[in-house]
Structure 1
Amino acid sequence: MINILKYTEYLYLAVAVVSIYKIVTLWSIDPKETYIFIFFAVVSMAMFIFRRRYRKRFEQRQKENQK
């Protein structure tokens, strides 16, 4: 299960990178269209941080329970 949590972390990071790329490419054309991508980038980065902390806590609890 830990491997699945690692992959979902990086999935959120990939969504953030793609959103940032779209922000950069669309900003000069029409800044109004970039607001949704700004939202996706911010939420994806927040979810990446949240998931990483959650996984590390989960791993720590498993180590403590094994002792």
Structure 2
Amino acid sequence: MIKILKYTEYLYLVVAVVSIYKVATLWSINPKETYIFIFFAVVSTAMFLFRRRYRKRFEQRKKENQQ
């Protein structure tokens, strides 16, 4: 189960990078369309950090229960 959590947290990071790329490419054409991609980048980065913290806590509890 830990491996699945690692993959999902990096999936959020990929979404953030793609969103930042879209913002960079679309900003000069139509800045109003980029606001949704900025939102996706911020939310995806926050979710990455949240999921990473949650996974590390889960691993810590699992180690404590095994001892």
> What's the TM-score once normalised by structure 1's chain length?
0.99
1:33 positional shift: 0.3
| 1:66 alignment counterpart | 66
- The size of the alignment, in residue pairs, is 67
Root mean square deviation of aligned Cα = 0.2
Among the aligned pairs, what percent are the same residue?
Answer: 87
In structure 1, distance between residues paired with 2:35 and 2:28: 13
Q: Which runs of 4+ in 1 moved over 2 A?
A: none
> Aligned runs of 1:1-67 on 2, under 5 Å?
1-67=1-67
Structure 1: tracts of 5 or more residues without a match:
none
> What's the TM-score once normalised by structure 2's chain length?
0.99
Structure 2: tracts of 5 or more residues without a match:
none
